[in-house]
Structure 1
Amino acid sequence: MNKTPLTVNGAEKLRIELHRLKTVDRPSVIAAIAEARSHGDLSENAEYDAAKERQGFIEGRIKEVEGKIANAQIIDPRLLDADGRCVFGATVNLEDMESGQAVTYQIVGEDEADIKENKISISSPIARALIGKYAGDIAEVQAPGGVREYEIIEVRYI
């Protein structure tokens, strides 16, 4: 299987989620199943059906998170030596050439992407346009409304 890039913070969030799933969610759903079983007839027991469905979801998510952690290539942006190039994990300050608006993004893995936190996926159009470029370069991003140009102001590894 191919390794999936993940930042140190992203890997830690997955580990925390896995711990919660195994130590909190799994035991609570097992208790809910036991409680529903104690009510007798399982053929028309909606509580039992809902608890079993939730258990299936939790077990599936545990397998998914374990797989992501096992196949992760954890990259610490602070340890990168990319000579000012935009690479995975880099935090990039940009300026929209049309509006002059400044924006900052960190290029992260698929599972870590969260636009509210200014974290964009390595496979997003903006990240693909930035990869390999340096401060002072212009990145052309194919957006739904047409091509947008961003000037790279600064590349940091934090």
Structure 2
Amino acid sequence: MSKAPITAKGAEKLREQLHQMKSVERPKIIEAIAEARAHGDLSENAEYHAAKEQQSFLEGRIKELEMHLADAQVIDVTSVNANGKVVFGATVDLLHLENDTEVTYQIVGEMEADIDNGLISISSPIARALIGKNEGDVTSVQAPGGEVEYEILEVRYE
């Protein structure tokens, strides 16, 4: 099984999330279950069933994060210098050639992708179109609304 790439920053964020779940959220749910159990008859105890459902969801999420961290290949983007070439972890400034707008994306692993914060998955169509290209290159991306062309303005490794 191949290791999934993740940036060092992304791995740290997942570790913090895992720590929060284990040290804060898990004890809260355990306390809620104990409190609901003290109310008596569990067959008709909505609070108990809701807390057990929350516990099940949380434990599943904890296992998922642990699995992803165990299978991750952590890449320190700051130590990468591909001389202006777009590689995993690179932050890329792009110019949308049709409407003359600029966008910035960082190419990251699946688990840390967050389009609202400019983090796009390595497997996304735009990342696949950018990988291997250099500053100044023009690339086209097949988007749901048709083909979109971008010019690569700058590539940073931060």
TM-score, normalised via structure 2 length: 0.97
Q: CA RMSD in A?
A: 0.9
Q: Percent identity?
A: 65
Aligned-partner residue type, residue 26 of structure 2: R
Question: What CA distance in whole angstroms lies between the structure 1 residues aligned with 2:49 and 2:104?
Answer: 46
Give the equivalent residue in structure 2 for 1:66: 66
TM-score, normalised via structure 1 length: 0.97
Question: What CA distance in whole angstroms lies between the structure 2 residues aligned with 1:18 and 1:104?
Answer: 28
Aligned length: 158
Give the equivalent residue in structure 2 for 1:99: 99
Deviation sequence 1:100-155 (CA, Å, 0-9, x none): 11111111111211122111111111111000000111111001111111011111
Aligned-partner residue type, residue 146 of structure 1: G
| Deviation of 1:83 (Å) | 2.3
Q: Does 2:25 correspond to 1:25? A: yes
| Deviation of 1:2 (Å) | 2.1
Give the equivalent residue in structure 1 for 2:38: 38
Question: What CA distance in whole angstroms lies between the structure 1 residues aligned with 2:31 and 2:24?
Answer: 11
Secondary structure of the equivalent of 1:15?
Answer: helix
Matches within 5 A, 1:45-64: 45-64=45-64
- Structure 1 runs (4+) greater than 2 angstroms displaced: none
Q: Which runs of 5+ in 2 are unaligned?
A: none
Give the equivalent residue in structure 2 for 1:3: 3
